[in-house]
């Protein structure tokens, strides 16, 4: 029996028999079946090849982790302007599409599912990474505190060029083009990166958006660009193949909002108007570990499937799903160190410890050499 039909049959039987829903229960994203609710979070690893093209080691990395209910790829630039870090993959050139095609084939050959995360870093870039060495862009001309990672080492962030009204349609068009390319590359869907201080998040939060036009001021205005991107990508992909990631109180990349609960409750309600695959929420601040937002309340503002992220383990993940606080749970560091995380969770096996020194850049060490259980 084909994997999709077998998972759908299992999903129906689970519903009929009223078995307790947990991380190991199958789930449907529209008509797409996931074998479990253990999701591989998007993880920047800085290991793309020349031209920001996925290479052999990337193929192996994702192949190893195909046991996840769904893999969400590392952030991938929608355009050359969207680049913010060295050696991060893109999805805007033909070579990049061909590179990703090898990844999706490898994951599908193992029975897995994979979405690509579409990324524009906005002001979290540097002129040395931009075409023509122009300034990076943002909603407002506000310089981020901190430094950019460049091929010449760490350099201070620069004051970005504030995008004009005439330039915003080009940004939306770049997202649409990247979404079309993702289809060509064989992905099962796309996730819009609207979190962690990058471009769309910069528009959403009032700490970085000081515009006085129709894209600034009220939260209705500040979410306008995200809404336009969502509508365009659903037009490309159809219902339940587009997810959105947000991070209501994450301070990474020098970003903040004065009223995160109200802001992101409103965003969740707005996004409920669309047939999204899911809303992916990084809960709390990954820099400090603090949580002040009521994420159950936020989850209740969204009419679709809710994916929780940040600091979950097996016990907390199962509890979140069983109590209907989340429909799926995304894991980051645990998937870095445990390519067979879903299988280890299912049998409650010991986990490999992640080596943080190898998270960003390098070769196979700390990337494809973590052993599966029993292979150590």
- Judged by phi (left if over 0) then psi (alpha if -120 to 50, else beta), residue 238 lies in left
**Quick check: 248 and 192 in contact, CB under 8 A?**
no
Q: Comparing C-alpha atoms, which of 135, 144, 204 is closest to residue 163?
A: 135
Residue for token pair 């991380």: 23
DSSP secondary-structure letter at 149? E
Calculate the CA dihedral of residues 10, 243, 100, 152 and round it to 10 degrees: -140
DSSP secondary-structure letter at 131? G
Residue for token pair 């209740």: 300
Token pair of 263 as six digits: 């802001």
CA distance 177 to 97: 12
CA distance 89 to 81: 13
User: Active-site residues: which are they?
Assistant: 198
């Amino acid at each position: 029996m084909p994997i999709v039909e077998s998972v759908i049959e299992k999903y129906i039987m689970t519903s009929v028999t009223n078995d307790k829903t947990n991380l190991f229960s199958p789930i449907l994203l529209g008509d797409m079946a996931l074998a479990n609710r253990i999701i591989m979070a998007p993880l920047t690893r800085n290991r793309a090849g020349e031209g920001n093209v996925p290479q052999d080691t990337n193929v192996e990395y994702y192949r190893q982790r195909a046991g996840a209910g769904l893999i969400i790829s590392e952030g991938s630039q929608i355009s050359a302007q969207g680049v913010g870090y060295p050696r991060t993959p893109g999805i805007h050139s033909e070579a990049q599409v061909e590179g990703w095609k090898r990844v999706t084939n490898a994951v599908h050959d193992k029975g897995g599912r994979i979405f690509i995360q579409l990324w524009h870093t906005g002001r979290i870039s540097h002129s040395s990474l931009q075409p023509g060495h122009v300034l990076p862009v943002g909603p407002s001309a506000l310089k981020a505190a901190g430094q950019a990672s460049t091929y010449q080492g760490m350099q201070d962030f620069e004051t970005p060029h504030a995008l004009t009204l005439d330039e915003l349609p080009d940004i939306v068009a770049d997202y649409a083009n990247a979404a079309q390319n993702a289809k060509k590359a064989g992905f099962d869907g796309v996730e819009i990166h609207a979190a962690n201080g990058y471009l769309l998040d910069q528009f959403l939060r009032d700490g970085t958006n000081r515009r006085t036009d129709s894209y600034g001021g009220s939260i209705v205005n500040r979410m306008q660009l995200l809404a336009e991107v969502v509508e365009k990508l659903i037009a490309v992909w159809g219902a339940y193949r587009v997810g959105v990631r947000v991070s209501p109180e994450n301070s990474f990349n020098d970003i903040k909002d004065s009223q995160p609960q109200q802001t992101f409750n409103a965003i969740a309600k707005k996004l409920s108007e669309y047939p999204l695959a899911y809303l992916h929420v990084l809960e709390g601040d990954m820099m400090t570990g603090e949580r002040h937002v009521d994420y159950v309340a936020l989850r209740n503002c969204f009419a679709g499937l809710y994916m929780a992220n940040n600091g979950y383990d097996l016990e907390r993940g199962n509890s979140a799903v069983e109590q209907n606080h989340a429909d799926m749970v995304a894991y980051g560091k645990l998937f870095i160190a445990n390519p067979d995380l879903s299988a280890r969770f299912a049998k409650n096996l010991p986990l490999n410890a992640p080596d943080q020194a190898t998270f960003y850049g390098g070769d196979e060490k700390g990337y494809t050499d973590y052993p599966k259980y029993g292979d150590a």
